[in-house]
Each structure stands twice: as C-alpha cells, then as structure tokens.
Amino acid sequence: MTVLDVRGLSKGFIMHHLRTRMGAFEDISFQLNAGEFLLLKGKNGAGKSTLLRTLYRSYLSQGGEILFHSDHGVIDLAKAADVDVSFLRRTEIGFVTQFLTARPRVTAQDLVAEPLRLAGQPAEEALRTARHWLNAFGVKEELWAAYPTTFSGGEQQKVNLARALILPQRLLLLDEPTASLDVIARAALVERLAELKAQGTAMIGVFHHPGDVAALIDREIDLTPDTAPEEDRDDVAV
Amino acid sequence: MSLKSLTKDWEPMSYGFLDASAKCEIRRKTLKAIAVPGCQIPYASREVPMARGWGTGGLQISCTLINPRTTVKVIDQGADDSVNAASIRRFLSRVSGAPTTTDTLKADLIQSRHRIPEEKLREDQVLVLQVPNPEPLRPVQPNMSIARQMHADADYGRMWLQLYEQIVRSGRVMQGASYPSLVHGRFVMTPSPIPRWDVPKMHMAKHLTILSAGREKRLHAVPPYTRVEPLVFDDVPYQVEEHGQLTCTRSGAKGYFMNEIPQNDGTSTYEVSDSELGIKTIQKADGDTVELGDTWYQDGEMTQ
Amino acid sequence: MMDPPQIVKTRPLLLARGVSKSFGAVKALRDVSATVYPGEVLGIVGESGSGKSTFLRCLNLEETPDEGSYTLDLPDVQGNLFDLDRYARRMLCATRIGIVYQNPHLGLLMKHSSSGNVAERLLVAGERRFHVLREKARGALDASEFPLERMDAPPIELSGGMQQRVQLAKAIALEPALLLLDEPTTGLDVSVQALVLDTLKKLQQERKITMVIVSHDLGVIRTLSDRVMVMKSGQVVEEGLADQVFQDPQHAYTQQLVHAKL
C-alpha cells in the first residue's frame, strides 16, 4: 500500500541578498509503501535533510508533487493548505530529529505522553506508556517528573525520541536521530523503529552511520552528488 | 380698542419670578425627563437671586410649578427652619402668593436638599430635590462627553467596579450619600446627596420626584411608580444607615434617620433629622391633635 | 498558490478579507487578508510602521478600515463586523475578544486593584455576584501566573511583567473566542519576557485559545505561532507555517528579517 508518492520534486533556495538561486535537488521521484524503510544517502550537502524538510513542508518545493496517502485521501503536501499540513503533522506525519523542543514547566513524562493524550487516550494510561518509553530509552526515573529544559543534551534527545515515537504514525521522517546517542538508547531506538515498521509505519531516514539501522533498511536513494553542493546555512537549523 | 386693553399691565417682575419663556422651557425639559426616567436633560438654567450651588436648580423647578393654590414646603437636610430653607420658602411665597406649610402631609410641592421626608408622599405631591452634581459617572469618567456616551450604551461597568473596589479595600460599600441607583432598569442616576436611608423611598413611590442641578444645568426625574434600584451585588445586600434603633432625645421618636449631636463627654445624642416629624411627635405626646402620616420606615424597618 | 483545505473541515474562526486603511496620504493597510482556524495562533511580524498593529486594532474593532470585511464564526455573531455600530462593537469586544496591549496603560486602570481590573470585564458582561467576581478574577490571575497575594494591589505598584499578567488575566477572564496580543513582551527585561512567553505558551496549550499575536520580535513570534504572516508597508509579503517561514523564507524582505535575527 502506497503511503507516499513523490513525483519530479525539485527544491532550490533563492537568496535575494546574493541574487542567486541555489539548487538543492532536481526532479526526484520515488514511491514509499507502508512498512517500508527508505534510506537517503549522499555526500554532505547533497540535500538529504533538505528533502526531509521539503517532505515535511518546512521547506517549500519549487516543482513536483508530494502525494501523501492519508486516512482522509490523497493530498499533495507541496500544495496543501497550512491547516491541513498542521493537522497531518499532529496525526499522521512525524519528524524525528536529535533536538528536543522543550517546553517550560512541562515535565518529561507529560511531554512524552502528550501525543497520546491528544489522540484521545486517558491521561493515566498515556502516562504509563510514556514512562515505559522513557525507561526503554534509558532516561533515569528521577528525571521523569522533572522539566527537560534543564536536561543535558543526551537526556533531552532521549526524551525527544520517546515523544516522537510513542504514537505509531503513517509516515516517519528521521533526521539523524542516532547522532551522539548512547548504546542503550540506540538499541531502544532501533527496536522501536522495527516495531513501528512492523505495524506499517513508512519511514524515510538520514543517518550518519547507517550501520545502526542496517537491519531495517529496505531501499536506498542516493541523492546524486552531481548537483551543486548545498551551502551550509546556519539560519535554517531545526 | 386700545393697545392697553390687549396687553397686560407692566409689572416689576413675572409671576413666579421666572419669565414665561424660561418656565416654558423648564416645563418642556421636565416632561422630557419624566418621559425618560433617570436620563439627564440639559436646560438653560436662568439666574435667580441666589448663588449657584445653593439650590438654584430646585428653585427654578419650584418657580415653574408654583401657582397660588400650591402649598409649598421647603426643607434643608430635613429641617424646615434652617436659614436656607426659610429663605427659599419665603421667596417662593413672595413671588407667587402661594401658601406655605411645614407639614409634609399638607404640602403640594416640597423642595428639599439632601433628604426625603419620613412621611410617605402621595400621588398628588411633587418632590423637588436640589442636586449639586447630577452625573453619577463623574468619579469614574471625568470627560462628560464620554460619560454621556456611556449612559447611551448603558455602559456602567466602571460604576460597578467602583463598588467592587470599595468592598475590596474597606470590606463594605463606602458610598454614603448620592448612592448610584438604576432607574427603570435603564439609566443610572445619582439621587442627589440623600442618605442611603432615603434611596429605597424612591422605589415605586407614588409621588413624582424632580431632581435639578442649577449650576450643572441638568435635570432628571423619577416618575411615580418607577423602579429605583441602588447598585448592589447580589450577595452583598444594600445597607441603610444603622439608625433603626436610635431614639430622638428631644421628641422620643424612634426608628428614623437621625442627626448625630456630639457631646462634650465624647458620646453622642441623636435628634430626628426630619424636624417636622419631631415636632409632630412632641405635639402628639402633649395631647394635641395632630395627624401623623404613614411613614416609609416603621420601627426602623423599611416597609413596602 | 496553496490549495484550499481538503482535510480540515472546520470553518475558520476569523476571516478578514481585503482590509485597507489610509490615514490621510499614508496607506497603513493595503488589501490585507487573514484566516485563523479555531485553536490556531497566527503571528504577524514586521517592522514598525508595517501596519501590523493597525491591522490588530482593526481586528479589535478599535479602527474601522476604509475597505474590507471581517467575520468571526461564532454562534451569535453575523455579518461584516466592520459594519457593526459602536454599541455592538463594544459588547462583542467586551465579551468575545481579549486584548493585551504593549502599553499596560491602554489596557488597565492603573489605580484600581488588579483583581478589579479583571472583574471589570466580568461586570461588563453582567456578573453581579461579588464572590463570583472574586473567584473568577482569582482564577484568571492564577492562570496568568500572577502572585495571588498581590491580587488587590493596583497595577501602578507592579512591575511591567506583572502588569502584562494582569492584562492577560483580564483578557482571558471571560474565556474569549479570540485573544489579540500587541507586542505583549516588548519593553520587558529579557528574563521577564521569557516568563511572560512561558505563560502565554502554557495558556495556549492548556486552553487552546485562538490567538493573533503581533510583534517585531521574531523570537516571540516563533515561540508562539503556528502560522506566520509577514507584513511590510501595509502589505502581506509572505505567509505560511511558522517553521517554513523561518527556515525557508521566500520573499526578499522575509529573508532579510530572518538573517538579521540574532
């Protein structure tokens, strides 16, 4: 069953202050089925993260279609209304990075449980599941009821993964989630991804060390290195 | 036929002191005020031989309403015999030939400053109250143009807020006299600086009340049988002055609004504020035949 | 350019179309349109004089534009709100729209008690029970994280951050359908600013209040908004999901804004 059908997708950045247009990738097409894991390969600057962000609509594409087969029918994410994209991000499309968007005075466990509660689970049950995943990713129990704003980078990352992966979604976009993760957490992550994959979640990932997830990879796309290298843009960090 | 037969003889002044056109205007404005209960109606406010702020508003209404068959009573803070009341009474009688009285029951027209008599007024009686400041919104909105707009919108949130603030700061509503009241469910008016004790007397009263401010050139009215509801929170009841249990040291009258008279030893004695009621009570005790009318308060409690 | 919504079937709460306003020769707003869905937070950024605050004042019905329409999808509210008379506007704003101004003097009675400032809104809406006023004022102040032991202190004795909290409590006291924020943290110390933003974020998440927030501070907009509208010289130059506008700005002006950010 197709989840994503990308047709002729192109992305470039127009930099008005330099009066230049810088291409990121041109005319990319691929299909992704439920339960499939797609690895994006390519040199630094080949546009791997750019492609993920374009699929997530953090970047606007310049051409082509991103046909997403949602529960509500097929929708072109490249042109979908903002509200629809917001809605799909809440319900069907996940984006996992190594960075946590911590919220002031929201405890780690509440943060992790939130996607479940938003999906209508009773608070108590959601909290139990949240604790399970915090434990699985190796977050110490003393920290569950603490505010992650003050956590170390590594702990924040674990909380972030627990939150991002707690609710099975139709499509998961993984932007180097394993970077700088310790062994326990990495194992938990791979295990969880495998579980989600088995449940039918389609995944597209960018990994520095694809070896971490080698067992999960079904297909690879090499973002051809013949395109001009992408400029390193500090201002667009997620 | 001569010109003389068609015109009136020259007189040194008009009947009732005010000239016909002034009285005409006041009558018109009074009718308007009665038609829109509680709404302040501007009027010209002529000069009268009295300084502004001494009851000129009330005096103009009295001069307009008066005729030789009108019996006039004038009181100042409940007393018929204060200088100001006596002067106004004599003036009214001189310019109109109207008989005067101090008996509330016998009066047709009662001009008053800061009190409503304790004896119930009847449908055929008119009460004229002197008003220093007719604008209840002035404490919360110094700009009178905006205040008028607020009246038009029935925007009385700030009025209520003032009461809220008083309760928060002092534990109770501090507004003593001029307690803002909602007339006929529409306009908030100031009932002139009558004590809280007197405000309930206006509610569904049989008589017509005209409130007139000469200096501010505005008048408003409470027609007979009109609702006058002091602004109060549902759970903080309206309270009148605690005079219900006090006894007048001169007349023995009990359960009416009193004047406090401080004594040298630091205590106070009380005298009934409505002086005529005190006199009648004394006369009755002496065995004279006097008619004491029904009073709004009985045994210190408001009836109705 | 973007398709109309296909999945989300809810009607937008706020629809403003073609709003234009001139002050003499100055065109403050040119054909500005905005759509806000229930529970959404729309951020409007732009430099001083870009017309963003004028637009917000139009949304609060303080200003009537020369052209344009404005509707709110509420049960008892119909038609173009710019056509309402003064009284209807006042009642609508008093009961359904909350606003927090940059300058607390515009939104608060500085010498009345803080709780009284909140209570005023309830009084305008017709609440006449003192204890209910107290409770609701206390609740709203608590929700905006105002220290309750100071609830009867007048705003003039409070710090800027506290004054903004009183404004916020006043704005949310009646559970408004729409909350407008005009530079709510501008002029506050950075640390205080962060605390006020926290509170706003918390309210937004707990109560799902629909908000329109205007600021020249990109950080504020970025922290709070789901969608962003960029204004320049009275026009909307760019509009989109917050992360998209900040990460992949399309218009030259937006790029300049984003690049200029610290």
Residue A143, CA atoms < 13 Å, CB-side half-sphere:
19
| A76–C252 C-beta distance less than 8 A | no
With beta carbons under 8 A apart, name residues in chain B contacting C120: 157-158, 160-161
Distance, CA of A91 to CA of A112 (rounded, Å)? 15
Cβ neighbours of A206 (radius 10 Å): 23
Choose, out of A82, A86, A235, the residue to mutate when testing the contact with C (most C CBs < 10 Å). A82
Hunting for tokens 């401080």 — which residue is that? B262
Per-residue pLDDT tens over the stretch A43-82:
777 788 889 999 999 999 988 999 999 889 899 999 999 9
Please name every residue paired with B182 in a beta bridge, in sequence order, or none if there are none: B188, B229
Report the chain C residue with the minimal C-alpha distance to residue B151.
C87
With beta carbons under 8 A apart, name residues in chain C contacting A105: 198, 202
* DSSP codes joined into one string, B160-229: HHHHHHHHHHHSS----SS--EEETTTEEE---S--GGGHHHHTT-SSEEEEEETTTTEEEEE-TT--EE
Mention every residue, 6+ apart, whose C-beta is less than 8 A from residue B159: B136, B137, B140, B180, B188, B231
Beta strands across the sheet bearing B228-230: B187-189, B181-183, B228-230
Helix axes C114-124, C130-143, angle to 10 degrees: 120
Q: Average pLDDT of B169-174?
A: 88
Tell me, what's the pLDDT at A139?
87
CB B295 within 8 A of CB B256: yes
- pLDDT tier at B194 (50, 70, 90 boundaries)? very high
Per-residue pLDDT tens over the stretch A107-162:
889 889 888 887 778 888 999 999 999 998 888 888 888 888 888 888 888 888 88
Tell me, what's the pLDDT at C76?
87
With beta carbons under 8 A apart, name residues in chain C contacting A70: 7
113-142 in chain C: CB under 8 A from chain B: 113, 115-116, 119-121, 123-124, 128-131, 133
Of A15-29, A76-90, A185-199, B155-169, give the lowest mean pLDDT range: A15-29
Per-residue pLDDT tens over the stretch C128-174:
999 999 999 999 999 888 999 999 999 999 998 899 999 999 999 99
Q: Assess whether pLDDT exceeds 90 at residue A188.
A: no
Give yes or no for B169 touching C (CB within 8 A): yes
Average pLDDT, chain A: 84
The architecture (CATH level 2) of B20-136+178-224 comes to 3-Layer(aba) Sandwich (3.40)
Give yes or no for C9 touching B (CB within 8 A): no
Q: Assess whether pLDDT exceeds 60 at residue C262.
A: no
Residue among B80, B36, B44, B39 at smallest CA distance from B60: B44
Report the chain A residue with the minimal C-alpha distance to residue C197.
A104
Domain boundaries along the sequence of chain B: 20-136+178-224, 245-287
| C3–A80 C-beta distance less than 8 A | yes
* Chain C residues bordering chain A (beta-carbon distance below 8 Å): 1-8, 37, 40, 194, 198, 201-202, 205, 226-227, 240-241, 243-244, 247-248, 250-252, 255-256, 258-259, 261
Average pLDDT, chain C: 90
User: Which other chains touch chain A, taking contact as 3+ CB pairs less than 8 Å apart?
Assistant: C
User: What value of ipTM does the predicted structure carry?
Assistant: 0.86
Say if A and B touch: at least 3 Cβ pairs within 8 Å: no
Give yes or no for C85 touching B (CB within 8 A): no
| A82–C6 C-beta distance less than 8 A | no
Distance, CA of C154 to CA of C166 (rounded, Å)? 10
Q: For chain B, how many residues are written?
A: 304
- pLDDT tier at B108 (50, 70, 90 boundaries)? very high
- Residue B197: both structure tokens together: 């004790």
Per-residue pLDDT tens over the stretch B110-157:
999 999 999 999 999 999 999 999 999 998 899 999 999 999 999 999
| C124–B168 C-beta distance less than 8 A | no
Q: Average pLDDT of A163-170?
A: 88
Q: How many CB pairs under 8 A join B and C?
A: 48
Give yes or no for B165 touching C (CB within 8 A): yes
Q: Considering only the beta carbons, identify the residue of C109, C119, C130 that sits closest to B236.
A: C130
Give yes or no for B155 touching C (CB within 8 A): yes
pTM assigned to the model: 0.85
CB C227 within 8 A of CB C238: no
Using CA atoms, how far residue A49 sits from A39, A53, A96, in Å, is 12, 6, 12
Distance, CA of A193 to CA of A237 (rounded, Å)? 24
| B236–C90 C-beta distance less than 8 A | no
| Alpha helix stretches (DSSP H) within chain C | 52-59, 86-95, 104-107, 114-124, 130-143, 160-172, 190-207, 218-224, 242-247, 252-260
Helix (H, G, I), strand (E, B) or coil at A97: coil
- Would you put residue A22 in left (φ > 0), alpha (ψ -120 to 50) or beta? beta
Amino acid identity for residue C88 in this structure: A
With beta carbons under 8 A apart, name residues in chain A contacting C37: 83
